[in-house]
Structure 1
Amino acid sequence: MSDNLTGTTVLVVGGAKNLGLAIATRAAELGAHVVIGARDGDAAQKAAATLPGARGIAIDVTDEATVASAAADLGAVDHIVSLAAAHHNVAVADLDHDRTVTAFEAKVIGPLLLAKHFAPSMPASGSIVLFSGVAAWKPSPGKAVMGITNGAVSFTASHLAKELAPIRVNAVSPGIIDSGTWDGMPDSDRAALFDGVAGSIPAGRVGATADIVDAATWLLTAGFVSGETIHVEGGARSA
């Protein structure tokens, strides 16, 4: 295994901000030609402009036409990282059908469509990294859709790994990460959340962006790892 991505093309879906942009940045540092995909094509291009030689493209995994168009436009890519998500965190009694379907489209159906349209032109050394999450293993009221869709991502990775072989397919399952996702909360609420998480898990802290970036980029080059879900959550499943 090498952490050198020189000469490869890495498509990061959901790469315009936070963890996605951090992964795209690391891939570029490791020598990859990076393509940032996002529903908002302008946001994708703006993010790409911050990285040498990167390109931004509009791609919405809940809209197959945009996936097909992106695949035709880009041609062969070596690696895909998909961080797409559409949260619907409400009690089961308050579920909205369409938002529930969209959550599954983002986390499960979208990756299947990425595989459908991109895998035929990917090299045997290629890989796909999907994003699950600790909510799948820690049931919580009001988080059923998040937990179920994240759990389904793990099975998506293992099934795609079998069907697309030798292309490798894996998933990263983060815990609570200080990645920018929580920045919309009041500072005191965010600090209380982080302190509570840190005090309840073996690692004694919340995750850092680098923790997830390290795992995702390792999977891009870990040639003997496929069909796996890598848990990067500080031991939260055992807490």
Structure 2
Amino acid sequence: MRVVIMGGTSGIGLATARRLAADGAEVIVTGRDPEKLAAAKEVVTAADQVDGTSEEAVSAFFDRIGTFDHLVLAFSPGAVGLGPVAGVGLADVRAAFDGKFFPYLLAIRWAGVTGSITLISAATARSALAGTVTLAAVNGAIERIVSPLAAELAPVRVNAVSPGAVDTPWWDFLPEEQRQAQFAAAADTVPARRVGRPEDVAAAVRYLVDATYVTGSILPVDGGFTVA
């Protein structure tokens, strides 16, 4: 099994790479940070420096590696656009889309994938949290394209995993004490009574890679947040 994980050098992407590599898959990850790429090479087959926002770079990457079985898209621009809508500039909204939604479309357009595509979105797409309008817009757009893509790209399967609060570097914009307080507050609001770990999401991706009769689906991995 040959798998490409774009955005696979940190957080959920890296956890997924570790999980699939441990299961014996040939895993190729992409990223932009040379230090993270070097660290990822210790656990995966290959780690390529690719700017996911550049169509030239993305198309050249996929031309180079040829066909493969499964594509996982785990790009994240971080907390760009987080905050009340009155205080978020349109430049930040565009940056949020440019850092995740549009790179997903680029990858899907050029990838020579034969088995499945799994997109990482987020629970903000289906929640009512003040200050997350931009995040909801980006992740909502990602989740909305899953069904038509599944129809258009069949027999390639297309699904999304939608995490809630997960302890990853995404939260590094907060000081450690504030971060832990945020996690404690989030844990109190979900039935699972804890925030997620990257490994939780990686397990869901692994399921979808193997689930040959599942396509066009959104799989929440949020501790019950969107049903609580």
TM over 0.5: yes
TM-superposed deviation, 1:44: 5.3
Contact 1:15 1:44 in 2 (8 A): no
Gaps of 5+ in 1: 1-7
Contact 2:119 2:161 in 1 (8 A): yes
The answer for the alignment partner of 1:189 in structure 2 is: 178
User: In the aligned structure 1, how far is the partner of 2:83 from the partner of 2:172?
Assistant: 21
The answer for the alignment partner of 2:159 in structure 1 is: 170
Contact 1:161 1:226 in 2 (8 A): yes
The answer for the alignment partner of 2:9 in structure 1 is: 16
The answer for the alignment partner of 1:78 in structure 2 is: 69
- Normalization by structure 1: what TM-score? 0.87
User: In the aligned structure 1, how far is the partner of 2:99 from the partner of 2:68?
Assistant: 21
2:19 pairs with 1:45: no
- Whichever residue aligns with residue 13 of structure 2, its letter is G
Which one of the candidate residues 24, 35, 42 is aligned to 2:28?
Answer: 35
User: In the aligned structure 2, how far is the partner of 1:161 from the partner of 1:61?
Assistant: 22
Q: Residues 127-182 of structure 1, C-alpha deviation per residue, up to 9 Å, x if partnerless?
A: 11101111112232321110111111111221211111000111000011123433
Contact 2:125 2:143 in 1 (8 A): no
2:106 pairs with 1:117: no
Q: How does 1:1-239 map to 2 (within 5 A)?
A: 8-40=1-33, 42-43=34-35, 45-51=37-43, 54-86=45-77, 87-118=80-111, 121-123=112-114, 126-183=115-172, 185-239=174-228
- Tell me the percent identity: 35
User: In the aligned structure 1, how far is the partner of 2:174 from the partner of 2:87?
Assistant: 23
- Normalization by structure 2: what TM-score? 0.91
User: In the aligned structure 1, how far is the partner of 2:30 from the partner of 2:119?
Assistant: 14
When the two chains are superposed, the root-mean-square deviation of aligned CA atoms in Å is 1.8
How many residue pairs were aligned? 226
User: In the aligned structure 2, how far is the partner of 1:203 from the partner of 1:48?
Assistant: 30
Q: Residues 27-62 of structure 1, C-alpha deviation per residue, up to 9 Å, x if partnerless?
A: 11111111111133x24531332115x111122222
Q: Tell which deviates more after alignment, 132-141 or 163-172.
A: 132-141
User: In the aligned structure 2, how far is the partner of 1:113 from the partner of 1:173?
Assistant: 20
